[in-house]
């Protein structure tokens, strides 16, 4: 008889776990609190515009990286049109000097050397390391928990030539590494590649993937990509329950046996997988009765990716001359909330995806980070008029800044949309409104937290609260790993 698996959460991790389990002869049902799949990998419509929230780059988008094969297991990647940008980002300083972070490493080296000849040695070291990581294949076949000794040896053997570089660059933060450049524009550019706390290794690997055209953007955007996987899941026989918030994981004799929804309905299964927020899973759905030392440590001291105020504008004109990813300093700091003020604006001009705006018009967006999620939640709950007014104030400020910087924005704005940490939490329930789970730092490394909880049988977890560093492919792989673990438990060969 086919075993039944109930999955909580239809983000990338839940979709992946569900699809792989279906491929392996399990009957699965996904309970998703929203009316759409994808979790944070999402988009929404406002009039004629699609506000694409998530995918900036999708690792595995091209066949030069083995993650492409993993994506191909879930959707036919030959049907996904991918844009590989020439520039990762353009960075400007207060004097108007610009550095183009090209995705081609040789062009990037030439650009860096031209702008900062005094840093020649450091630039060459940086580019050499990126090239090395472009040669490296990250192991993504089998989780270490199910791999046999031969597989483990093979993995280690493949990684052996890169262990030195991996060790060196995983132990220095992006901010600290950037300080090693003398040139202020280079310091600024490298320091802004991603979060300042993350290891420089993360940035080097991203540039390496982009160099080999394996980290592009799928035309159609985030929700369309998530929908492709959701469709495959349904074609494989998987069942969705949308608008279904799981309130409790049902446990009998230390074995997970079902889920209870917020509306009171209960469902029983042979295995329960939570691909939802990690904190809510352990402390609410399981009422804190089962945990693991790693989770206790992380939930008390771990740092999360920040939350976001995301401003999107639909503008009735084109901006072909403006780079798609443009970081520039503000003349005056912009106040976001009582704990947050920003000194730079990172503009995204979505002109590379014609599906997001009508012809001749453009979607602009900016992703503003804040850790003050509770302020936005309180404001939304207690003073909704003030909440709306604050959102409008920030949108107006962004329009004013852009009007000045790239010209003719204000008079052409047709659509304004501001989402806040309260939106992110209301939509996906991610702890503290984090947009990517646990922040990877030199102290944490790219670690996997346990997929199981000691003392609780037939229960598994996956997603960006298990895989430190988060990201779409990581969430997908984490779901695949759980499918492999369940196959192992059932003594079945894992097949795709």
Ligand X SMILES: Cc1cc2nc3c(=O)[nH]c(=O)nc-3n(C[C@H](O)[C@H](O)[C@H](O)COP(=O)(O)OP(=O)(O)OC[C@H]3O[C@@H](n4cnc5c(N)ncnc54)[C@H](O)[C@@H]3O)c2cc1C
Based on CB atoms, which residue is closest to ligand X, 14 or 258?
14
Based on CB atoms, which residue is closest to ligand X, 84 or 183?
84
* Structure-token pair, residue 281: 């899973």
Do 37 and 230 touch, CB atoms closer than 8 A?
yes
Tell me how far apart the alpha carbons of residues 375 and 422 are, in angstroms, rounded to a whole number. Answer: 9
Phi–psi pair at 83, nearest 5 degrees: -100, 120
Tell me how far apart the alpha carbons of residues 455 and 438 are, in angstroms, rounded to a whole number. Answer: 24
Q: What angle do CA 247, 251, 256 make, to 5 degrees?
A: 95
Q: Closest approach of Cβ 141 to ligand X, in Å?
A: 20
Tell me how far apart the alpha carbons of residues 281 and 274 are, in angstroms, rounded to a whole number. Answer: 7
* Structure-token pair, residue 226: 């998530």
Q: Closest approach of Cβ 93 to ligand X, in Å?
A: 25
Based on CB atoms, which residue is closest to ligand X, 216 or 314?
216
Based on CB atoms, which residue is closest to ligand X, 275 or 453?
275
Q: Closest approach of Cβ 261 to ligand X, in Å?
A: 8
Tell me how far apart the alpha carbons of residues 278 and 117 are, in angstroms, rounded to a whole number. Answer: 47
* Structure-token pair, residue 97: 């000097």
Q: Closest approach of Cβ 277 to ligand X, in Å?
A: 5
Separation in Å, CA 150 to CA 226, 482, 485, 491? 35, 21, 18, 19
Q: Closest approach of Cβ 493 to ligand X, in Å?
A: 26
- Which residues contact residue 250 at a Cβ distance below 8 angstroms, ignoring those fewer than 6 apart? 256, 257, 258, 259, 260, 266, 268
Based on CB atoms, which residue is closest to ligand X, 32 or 119?
32
Based on CB atoms, which residue is closest to ligand X, 86 or 106?
86
Q: Is 52 left (phi over 0), alpha (psi -120 to 50) or beta?
A: beta
Q: Closest approach of Cβ 470 to ligand X, in Å?
A: 4
Based on CB atoms, which residue is closest to ligand X, 13 or 198?
13
Q: Closest approach of Cβ 244 to ligand X, in Å?
A: 6
Give 83's strand partners.
Answer: 217
Do 51 and 447 touch, CB atoms closer than 8 A?
no
Based on CB atoms, which residue is closest to ligand X, 246 or 356?
246
Do 105 and 93 touch, CB atoms closer than 8 A?
no
List, in sequence order, the alpha helices (H) in 173-281: 174-178, 184-191, 200-211, 221-235, 278-280
Q: Closest approach of Cβ 394 to ligand X, in Å?
A: 16
Q: Closest approach of Cβ 221 to ligand X, in Å?
A: 11
Q: No. of H helices and E strands in the chain?
A: 16, 20
Based on CB atoms, which residue is closest to ligand X, 41 or 178?
41
Q: Closest approach of Cβ 489 to ligand X, in Å?
A: 22
Based on CB atoms, which residue is closest to ligand X, 112 or 280?
280
Based on CB atoms, which residue is closest to ligand X, 43 or 200?
43
Q: Closest approach of Cβ 265 to ligand X, in Å?
A: 12
Based on CB atoms, which residue is closest to ligand X, 112 or 356?
356
Q: Comparing C-alpha atoms, which of 286, 280, 285 is closest to residue 299?
A: 280
Tell me how far apart the alpha carbons of residues 370 and 365 are, in angstroms, rounded to a whole number. Answer: 16
Where do the DSSP E strands lie in 55-132? 58-59, 82-83, 87-92, 98-102
Q: Contact positions toward ligand X, by CB under 6 A?
A: 8-14, 31-34, 39-41, 53-57, 245-246, 275-277, 280, 308, 367, 428-430, 435-437, 463-464, 470-473, 475
Q: Closest approach of Cβ 71 to ligand X, in Å?
A: 12
List, in sequence order, the alpha helices (H) in 236-292: 278-280
Based on CB atoms, which residue is closest to ligand X, 9 or 62?
9
Q: Assign 298 to helix, strand or coil.
A: helix
Q: Closest approach of Cβ 132 to ligand X, in Å?
A: 22
Give 59's strand partners.
Answer: 215
Q: Assign 2 to helix, strand or coil.
A: coil
Residue in this structure with the two tokens 């294949």, named with its chain if needed: 137
Q: Comparing C-alpha atoms, which of 103, 10, 21 is closest to residue 271?
A: 21
Q: Assign 184 to helix, strand or coil.
A: helix
């Amino acid at each position: 008889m086919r075993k039944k698996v109930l999955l909580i959460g239809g983000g990338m991790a839940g979709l992946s776990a569900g699809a792989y389990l279906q491929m392996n002869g399990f009957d699965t049902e996904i309970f998703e609190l929203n009316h759409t799949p994808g979790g944070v990998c999402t988009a929404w419509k406002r009039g004629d515009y699609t506000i694409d929230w998530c995918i900036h780059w999708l690792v595995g988008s091209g066949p030069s990286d083995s993650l492409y094969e993993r994506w191909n297991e879930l959707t036919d990647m030959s049907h996904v049109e991918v844009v590989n940008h020439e520039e990762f980002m353009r960075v400007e300083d207060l004097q108007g000097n610009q550095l183009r972070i090209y995705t081609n490493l040789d062009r990037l080296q030439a650009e860096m050397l031209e702008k900062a000849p005094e840093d020649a040695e450091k630039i060459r070291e940086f580019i050499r390391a990126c090239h090395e990581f472009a040669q490296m294949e990250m192991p993504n076949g089998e989780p270490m928990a199910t791999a046999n000794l031969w597989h483990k040896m093979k993995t280690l053997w493949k990684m052996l030539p890169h262990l030195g570089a991996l060790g060196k660059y995983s132990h220095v933060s992006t901010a600290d590494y950037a300080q090693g450049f003398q040139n202020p524009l280079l310091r600024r550019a490298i320091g802004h590649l991603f979060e300042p706390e993350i290891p420089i290794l993360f940035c080097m690997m991203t540039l390496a993937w982009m160099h080999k055209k394996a980290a592009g953007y799928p035309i159609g955007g985030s929700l369309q990509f998530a929908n492709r996987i959701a469709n495959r899941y349904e074609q494989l026989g998987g069942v969705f329950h949308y608008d279904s918030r799981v309130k409790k994981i049902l446990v009998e004799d230390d074995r997970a046996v079902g889920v209870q929804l917020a509306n009171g309905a209960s469902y029983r299964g042979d295995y329960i997988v939570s691909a939802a927020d990690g904190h809510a899973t352990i402390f609410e759905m399981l009422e804190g009765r089962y945990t693991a030392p790693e989770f206790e440590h992380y939930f008390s001291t771990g740092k999360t990716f920040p939350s976001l105020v995301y401003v999107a504008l639909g503008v009735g004109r084109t901006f072909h001359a403006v780079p798609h990813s443009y970081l520039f300093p503000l003349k005056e700091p912009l106040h976001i909330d009582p704990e947050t003020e920003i000194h730079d604006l990172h503009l995204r001009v979505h002109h590379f995806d014609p599906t997001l705006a009508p012809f001749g018009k453009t979607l602009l967006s900016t992703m503003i980070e804040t850790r003050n999620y509770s302020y936005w939640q309180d404001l939304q709950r207690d003073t909704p008029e003030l909440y709306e007014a604050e959102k409008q104030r920030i949108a107006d400020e962004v329009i004013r800044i852009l009007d000045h910087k790239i010209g003719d924005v204000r008079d052409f704005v047709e659509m304004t949309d501001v989402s806040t940490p309260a939106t992110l939490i209301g939509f996906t329930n991610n702890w503290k409104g984090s947009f990517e789970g646990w922040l990877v730092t030199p102290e944490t490394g790219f670690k996997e937290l346990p997929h199981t909880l000691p003392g609780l049988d037939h229960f598994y977890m996956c997603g960006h609260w298990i895989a430190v560093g988060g990201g779409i492919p990581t969430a997908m792989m984490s779901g695949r790993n759980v499918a492999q673990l369940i196959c192992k438990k059932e003594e079945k060969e894992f097949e795709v």
